[in-house]
Amino acid sequence: MQHRAIHLITAAWMAALASFASGPIHLKTRDLTAASYPAAEALQAPSQGPGHLLVQFAGGPSANDLRELQRRGALVVGSAPDGGITISADRPISLAGLAVEWSGPLLAEDKISPLLSQGGANGGPAAVVIEFHPDVHMRRALQLLRSANVQILRHPDLLPNHVLANATLPALTQIAAFDEVAYIFPASNDLIQGNHVMACSGAEMTAGTVGQYVLVGNGWSGAGAGVVQLEYVFAQMSAKLPVAGAQSEIVRAFQEWAKNANVQFVLGAGATGNQTVSVMFAEGLHGDNYPFEPGSPVLAHTFFPSPTDPEPLAGDMHLNEDQDWHIGTDIDLYTVALHEAGHALGLGHTDDPNTIMYPYYRLGAGLSSGDIAGVQALYGSPDTVTPPVTTPVTPPPSLPAPAALSLAIANPISTSVTTTAASISISGTASGGTGNLQVVWSNSQGGSGPAAGSANWSVASVPLAMGVNTILVVLSDAAGDSASQSIAVTRQAAATPPVTTPPVTTPPAGPPSLTIASPAMTIVSTSASTIAFSGTATAGVTSLTWSNSTGASGNATGTAQWNVPAIPLLVGTNTITVKAYNASGASAWRAVTVVRQ
Ligand SMILES: [Zn+2]
Ligand SMILES: [Zn+2]
């Protein structure tokens, strides 16, 4: 257990701190205000501490407040919406002269999850996760727990400041009184049984990570009063995943929330726009207070909506490029994006292991009724509700169902293009859907924007970087439905003059390579239960295999001209990878994402 990095307040961050009117701090146990806090302990003494203190600032902590706290010897170890921060001090410190509304230690009764105290534990032992404040050394944490009557359990995926334990409610009450303990909540069955899980340390705020004791953030402005439209942009994608497939998984996660709440996600034009979720894979320092340290178990972190976090950072989702990213298997991008998108919408962590917003979640987890209740509490239910399926009746002829959204790229005609030009023009057609259609493009190498027109759309000039540019075109309609197509454009250096003396001998077989001719697109949507694949491979290839991220695999028939007549598909996203091998065992691969409706 390493000492966790403490967040230094830098000059750049001071300028970015948001200010707002403060209400109560929403803890899991209750809404906390100066009036509801025992007066004898609140801001009566001229100095406070030592230990961990919750401090609420009128209008949020200013940059000067944070700098002054740091100068007086306090570390910021956590934060809460509505102006709350948690600080740690190893000696009594004065809060005089700061815009502090009130302060005091977190009370023991506010550190035990309501699910534990009301859960009918009958005093019998329950499996729990004990969260310590992030500046507490694990040696000290274990020493404290040994002094109480708890049985410590192991799990490889625990966060650095978490301990898994069995304890009775009286023992938990004793533990909660320790200043070093931040919160205690129920352990999931996956934790108890040692199953692999993905972990999140919490939503980020500029001053510190949101503690597990905090109930919820606030939604984006306009939440609860009509549909809230959010934009997303892909600022930097992972080198470990096919760009179009990874983008499609992240968009699928956004749409899962949008289906269940009065929010819409549309592709935006720039990472610095307001109400924009900028998605970035990053390593090490990447422009905020939370570098992804080498070897860190952190998968990702996401900032809360404005004004809890300042624009343009608000809502941004950062994914740790150092992790072993996959589509459909661990570490599964869709599952992580689904959890993090909840934070981008303003949701905090729950204590309920059945929700995706519990800090530990597993591959294949979807939104549960608890998650949907949480997001609807902020935004309301979706405006456009799909009518329930009932006994078929003859539909009124005046109200035809909207045709399915359809998007085609007509020019360039091929999905894989090579050019020496610095830009390319693309155009195509769009139809179906509800209301106005919008077409936007983005390039995996950077750049994005709207297309001109909709039914017949065009982009005059997409700038190209050297190498492979995956250009994603997304069509969306007024109901929030979307369709996408992508093309790969390889930009090469201008051709050099031909070599005057060509080699006379046959060159040795190069590394294997293959193409997938059918399906022609890298993202395909179908309602069929199987799909056929075919393509070509270079002369040295001796065998080809295929595998589907949803489980099946097999061999292709043929080599130079190969095919697979029927790959089984599960409903949802199937990432199908075809691998070609040569006689020496070297391999190459291509993948297609097939979404079965
Ligand atoms: Zn989280
Ligand atoms: Zn970050």
What pLDDT sits at residue 351?
96
How far away, in angstroms, is 287 Cα from ligand 2 center? 7
Q: Using pLDDT thresholds of 50, 70 and 90, give the confidence band for residue 523.
A: low
Q: How far is CA 97 from CA 47, 65, 87, 101, 103, in A?
A: 12, 9, 17, 11, 14
Query: Is 53 or 524 the better-scoring residue by pLDDT?
Result: 53
| Cα–Cα nearest to 340, from 235, 470, 441, 249 | 249
How far away, in angstroms, is 481 Cα from ligand 2 center? 29
Q: Indicate if the pLDDT at residue 77 is higher than 90.
A: yes
In the structure, ligand 1 is a single-atom ion and the residues with CB under 5 Å from it are 200
How far away, in angstroms, is 586 Cα from ligand 2 center? 37
> Domain range for residue 62?
11-106
Averaged over 399-406, what is the pLDDT? Answer: 65
- Residues 70 and 526: their CA atoms lie apart, in Å, by 57
Q: What is the four-CA torsion angle of 66, 71, 73, 74, rounded to 10 degrees?
A: 0
How far away, in angstroms, is 210 Cα from ligand 1 center? 9
How far away, in angstroms, is 235 Cα from ligand 2 center? 12
Do 233 and 368 have their domain in common?
yes
Tokens read off for 212:
């597990």
How far away, in angstroms, is 361 Cα from ligand 1 center? 9
Q: Is the peptide bond before 307 cis (omega within 30 degrees of 0)?
A: yes
In the structure, ligand 2 is a single-atom ion and the residues with CB under 5 Å from it are 288, 290, 318
How far away, in angstroms, is 506 Cα from ligand 2 center? 52
What pLDDT sits at residue 280?
97
How far away, in angstroms, is 350 Cα from ligand 1 center? 9
How far away, in angstroms, is 509 Cα from ligand 2 center? 45
Query: Is 144 or 572 the better-scoring residue by pLDDT?
Result: 144
Domain boundary among 460, 491, 522: 491
How many residues appear in the chain? 597
Q: Are 479 and 401 in contact (CB under 8 A)?
A: no
Q: Using pLDDT thresholds of 50, 70 and 90, give the confidence band for residue 273.
A: confident
Quick: pLDDT tens for 369-395: 999 999 999 999 997 554 444 444 444
In terms of phi and psi (left: phi > 0; alpha: psi -120 to 50; beta: otherwise), the region of 322 is: alpha
Q: Indicate if the pLDDT at residue 15 is higher than 50.
A: no
Q: Which ligand is nearest to the CA of 335?
A: 1
Q: Which ligand is nearest to the CA of 348?
A: 1
Quick: pLDDT tens for 328-337: 999 999 999 9
Q: How far is CA 58 from CA 97, 100, 403, 545, in A?
A: 13, 6, 52, 63
Q: Within a domain: residue 47? A: yes
CB-count exposure of residue 226 (10 Å: 0-12, 13-18, 19+): exposed
What pLDDT sits at residue 19?
41
Averaged over 357-374, what is the pLDDT? Answer: 95
What pLDDT sits at residue 195?
94
How far away, in angstroms, is 284 Cα from ligand 2 center? 9
Do 83 and 123 have their domain in common?
no
Amino acid at 474: V
How far away, in angstroms, is 11 Cα from ligand 2 center? 17
What pLDDT sits at residue 394?
44
Query: Is 557 or 321 the better-scoring residue by pLDDT?
Result: 321
Q: Are 125 and 167 in contact (CB under 8 A)?
A: yes
How far away, in angstroms, is 244 Cα from ligand 1 center? 25
Q: Within a domain: residue 271? A: yes
Averaged over 85-94, what is the pLDDT? Answer: 91
| Cα–Cα nearest to 52, from 136, 110, 142 | 136
How far away, in angstroms, is 301 Cα from ligand 2 center? 6
Q: Which ligand is nearest to the CA of 343?
A: 1
How far away, in angstroms, is 90 Cα from ligand 1 center? 29
How far away, in angstroms, is 353 Cα from ligand 1 center? 13
Q: How far is CA 506 from CA 500, 501, 510, in A?
A: 17, 14, 11
Q: Which ligand is nearest to the CA of 217?
A: 1
- Residues 244 and 424: their CA atoms lie apart, in Å, by 18
What pLDDT sits at residue 501?
54
Tell me phi and psi for residue 533, to 5 degrees.
Answer: -120, 145
What pLDDT sits at residue 349?
96
What pLDDT sits at residue 17?
42
How far away, in angstroms, is 291 Cα from ligand 2 center? 6
Residues above pLDDT 70, as percent of the chain: 85
Do 431 and 473 have their domain in common?
yes
Alpha helix locations (H) across 211-305? Answer: 243-258
Do 416 and 470 have their domain in common?
yes
Averaged over 500-525, what is the pLDDT? Answer: 67
Q: Which ligand is nearest to the CA of 202?
A: 1
Q: Which ligand is nearest to the CA of 292?
A: 2
Averaged over 110-131, what is the pLDDT? Answer: 81
CATH of the domain at 242: 3.40.390.10
What pLDDT sits at residue 481?
64
Q: Which ligand is nearest to the CA of 318?
A: 2
What pLDDT sits at residue 445?
67
Q: Using pLDDT thresholds of 50, 70 and 90, give the confidence band for residue 496.
A: low
How far away, in angstroms, is 414 Cα from ligand 2 center? 37
Q: Exposure string (b/e) for 520-535, b if CB count within 10 Å is 16 or more? A: ebbbbeeeeeebebbb
What pLDDT sits at residue 39?
61
CB-count exposure of residue 494 (10 Å: 0-12, 13-18, 19+): exposed
Question: Which helix (H) or strand (E) covers residue 568, if one does?
Answer: strand 561-568
Q: Exposure string (b/e) for 229-250, b if CB count within 10 Å is 16 or more? A: ebbbbbbbbbeebbbbbbbbbb
Do 96 and 188 have their domain in common?
no
Quick: pLDDT tens for 18-63: 444 468 899 999 998 888 877 655 555 567 778 999 999 888 888 8
Do 234 and 362 have their domain in common?
yes
Do 42 and 168 have their domain in common?
no
How far away, in angstroms, is 345 Cα from ligand 1 center? 12
Query: Is 584 or 219 the better-scoring residue by pLDDT?
Result: 219
How far away, in angstroms, is 241 Cα from ligand 1 center? 22
Q: How far is CA 491 from CA 286, 450, 464, 510, 523, in A?
A: 28, 22, 7, 22, 22
- Residues 312 and 572: their CA atoms lie apart, in Å, by 33
CB-count exposure of residue 593 (10 Å: 0-12, 13-18, 19+): buried
How far away, in angstroms, is 490 Cα from ligand 2 center? 30
Do 536 and 590 have their domain in common?
yes
| Cα–Cα nearest to 345, from 354, 357, 361, 334 | 357
Q: Within a domain: residue 353? A: yes
Q: Are 340 and 357 in contact (CB under 8 A)?
A: no
Q: What is the secondary structure of 87-131 as a DSSP string?
A: EEESS-EE-TTS-EEEEEPPPGGGSB-HHHHTTT-TT--EEEEEE
How far away, in angstroms, is 300 Cα from ligand 2 center? 8
Domain boundary among 45, 74, 106: 106
Q: Indicate if the pLDDT at residue 529 is higher than 80.
A: yes
Q: Within a domain: residue 499? A: no
Average pLDDT over the chain, rounded to whole?
83
How far away, in angstroms, is 346 Cα from ligand 1 center? 11
Query: Is 402 or 577 the better-scoring residue by pLDDT?
Result: 577
Query: Is 322 or 97 the better-scoring residue by pLDDT?
Result: 322
Amino acid at 310: P
Q: Within a domain: residue 400? A: no
Contacts of 79 (CB under 8 A, 6+ apart): 85, 86, 205, 207, 208, 209, 210, 211
How far away, in angstroms, is 201 Cα from ligand 2 center? 13
Do 74 and 21 have their domain in common?
yes
Lowest-pLDDT choice from 6-20, 104-118, 138-152: 6-20
Do 117 and 99 have their domain in common?
no
Domain boundary among 75, 106, 137: 106
How far away, in angstroms, is 576 Cα from ligand 1 center? 29
Q: Using pLDDT thresholds of 50, 70 and 90, give the confidence band for residue 479.
A: low
Contacts of 387 (CB under 8 A, 6+ apart): none
Q: Indicate if the pLDDT at residue 261 is higher than 90.
A: yes
Q: Within a domain: residue 88? A: yes
- Residues 191 and 358: their CA atoms lie apart, in Å, by 12
Q: Which ligand is nearest to the CA of 285?
A: 2
Q: Indicate if the pLDDT at residue 6 is higher than 90.
A: no
| Cα–Cα nearest to 272, from 328, 310, 239 | 310
Q: Within a domain: residue 269? A: yes
CATH of the domain at 451: 2.60.40.10
Q: Indicate if the pLDDT at residue 553 is higher than 50.
A: yes
- Residues 19 and 16: their CA atoms lie apart, in Å, by 10
How far away, in angstroms, is 319 Cα from ligand 2 center? 8
How far away, in angstroms, is 78 Cα from ligand 1 center? 14
How far away, in angstroms, is 197 Cα from ligand 1 center? 13
Q: Are 483 and 474 in contact (CB under 8 A)?
A: yes
| Cα–Cα nearest to 316, from 222, 205, 240, 238 | 205
| Total number of domains in the chain | 5
Do 374 and 427 have their domain in common?
no
Tell me phi and psi for residue 260, to 5 degrees.
Answer: -110, 0
Q: Within a domain: residue 218? A: no
Q: Which ligand is nearest to the CA of 203?
A: 1
Do 237 and 374 have their domain in common?
yes
**What angle is formed at CA 302 by the lines to CA 298 and CA 305, rounded to 5 degrees?**
165
How far away, in angstroms, is 217 Cα from ligand 1 center? 12
Amino acid at 342: G
What pLDDT sits at residue 388?
46
